[in-house]
Amino acid sequence: MEFVFFLAAAVKAGTCLLYATLGEIISEKVGHLNLGVEGMMQMGAVVGFIAGFTFGNPYAAVLCAAIAGAAGALIYGFLTISLKANQVVTGLTLSIFGVGFAAFFGKNFVGKKVPEAITTFFAPIKLPVLGDIPYVGQIFFTQSIYVYFSYFLVIAIYIYLYKTKWGLNTRMVGENPVAADASGIPVDKYKYFNIALCGALCGLGGAFLSLVYISIYPVNVVSGRGWIAVALVIFAMWNPGKALLGAYFFGALDIASFWLQQYTLPVSIYLFTALPYLATVFVLIFTSMRKSSNKKEPAWLGKNYFKEDR
């Protein structure tokens, strides 16, 4: 029974990672490595919290968070798409910017509580029928509406990327923008749209932390989870379904130390707090050894497209 509770907590802890990972998958599918996930999550978290705190309305809070994340992504988009700046450097800068943005605007909100109206709105709801399935119901279907929305997003993004014309075009831009351009696909428009979508999802991931996961706004709410999301994209092999598994796995690692402390273990508890980062290293090693081409990153990932060089 305790293990079921643990898994339910892991799903909750992994949800912010899931949003951010889905976002980064979309960005990378269009050929843009955006290392600014941490920054966009921070922006979403702080703007979402401020909006929620000011308006007391969950919809307004979530919407503002998504807009803030997308705004951060569009800065990145403008620099890398229109001005052809280096993607890695721009992404890193966005991360630093987002952390500073959150620290600056969040300063007066540190220690403030999430309003009651929002806490009740996002409180766990047991779904009828599905919630009654033994174990599975308790783990996956006794959660916040914010978590349910992420299940929906996994399916929606899978359909978008693999079952629609837009998704096909998106992937083509990421694989070979030269061919895409030649076949009449507006490359830059696709890039802007998908990068903004990535930002909005990262913003939602950050706001999950500041509106649902916690009760009191802290100094640094995201604290490195954005970087784990970047690694998760590789772990998930750019597949939304596998992103779900990866996010929950890392969610479990995130909280494992609190659950394991009650057992006498032969190793130090500090090992468990280091586990998510250790696991990230191993994931990167193993995925870099993979040979199969359909599990690899998009061919033009990280490279800017110069129309004039065609």
Partner 1 sequence: MKKRLGVLMLALVLVVVSVAGCSTGSTSKEDEVTKVGFIYVGPADDGGWSQAHDNGRAKMVENMGGKVETIVKENVPEEKSAVISTIRDMVDQGCTIIFGTSYGFMDGMVEAAEEFPDVKFEHCSGYMTADNLGTYFGKIEEPRYLSGIVAGLTTKTNKIAYVAAMPIPEVIRGINAFALGVKSVNPAATVNVSWTNTWYDPTVEKAAAEALIQQGCDVTAQHQDSTATMEAAKEAGKLSIGYDLSAATTMPEVYMTAPLWDFSGYYTDAVQSVIDGTWKSQQYWGGMNDGIVLLDELTALAPGTAQGQVDTATEAIKSGQLNIFTGELKDQTGAVKVTAGSKMTDEALLSMDWFVDNVVGSLK
Among 265, 274, 284, 299, binds partner 1 (CB under 8 A): 265
Give min distance, CB of 262 to partner 1, in A: 6
Question: Cβ 123 to partner 1, closest distance in Å?
Answer: 8
Nearest approach in angstroms of CB 92 to partner 1 is 22
For tokens 């889905």, name the residue. 22
Backbone angles phi, psi at 300, to 5 degrees: -100, 20
Q: Smallest distance, Å, CB 217 to partner 1?
A: 7
Six-digit token pair at 220? 């640094």
Contacts of 13 (CB under 8 A, 6+ apart): 213, 251, 252, 254, 255
Q: How far is the CB of 63 from partner 1 (least distance, A)?
A: 23
How distant is the alpha carbon of residue 99 from its chain centre?
Answer: 16
Minimum Å distance from CB 210 to partner 1?
A: 9
Any contact of residue 269 with partner 1 (CB under 8 A)?
Answer: yes
At 56, give phi and psi (nearest 5°): 65, 20
Contact call for residue 13 and partner 1 (CB under 8 A): yes
- SS3 of 190, please? helix
Options 129-137, 195-203, 241-249, 253-261: segment touching partner 1 (CB under 8 A): 253-261
Which DSSP state fits 219? Answer: S
Reading the block at residue 274, the tokens are: 């280091």
Site membership for partner 1, residue 3 (CB under 8 A): no
User: Cα(169)–Cα(175) distance, rounded to whole angstroms?
Assistant: 10
Q: Which is nearer to partner 1, 182 or 265 (CB)?
A: 265
DSSP state of 86: -
Query: Is residue 6 part of the contact set for partner 1 (CB under 8 A)?
Result: yes
252 lines the binding site for partner 1 (CB under 8 A) = no
Q: Which stretch binds partner 1 (CB under 8 A): 81-89, 148-156, 165-173, 251-259?
A: 251-259
Map residues 86-125 to x or -, x wherever contact with partner 1 holds by CB under 8 A: ---------------------x--xx-x---------x--
Q: Which amino acid, 26? A: I
User: What value, to the nearest 5°, has the Cα angle with vertex 267 and ends 243 and 220?
Assistant: 50
Residue 267 interacts with partner 1 (CB under 8 A)?
Answer: yes
Distances (CA, A) of 23 to 10, 60, 150, 219, 224: 20, 21, 11, 24, 16
Q: Compare residues 13 and 196 and give the one whose CB is closer to partner 1.
A: 13
Residues touching partner 1: how many (CB under 8 A)? 33
Name which of residues 198 to 227 contact partner 1 (CB under 8 A): 209, 213-219, 221, 223
CA 3 – CA 153 distance, rounded (Å): 27
- DSSP state for residue 125 in the 8-state scheme: E
From the list 169, 183, 173, 187, the residue with the least C-alpha distance to 298 is 173
* CA proximity to 66, closest of 47, 39, 93, 94: 47
For the segment 137-166, give every residue that binds partner 1 (CB under 8 A): none
135 touches partner 1 (CB under 8 A) = no
Least separation in angstroms between residue 194's CB and partner 1 is 30
Question: With binding defined as CB under 8 A, does residue 258 bind partner 1?
Answer: yes
Binding site for partner 1 (CB under 8 A): 2, 5-6, 9, 13, 107, 110-111, 113, 123, 209, 213-219, 221, 223, 254-255, 258-259, 261-262, 264-265, 267-270, 273
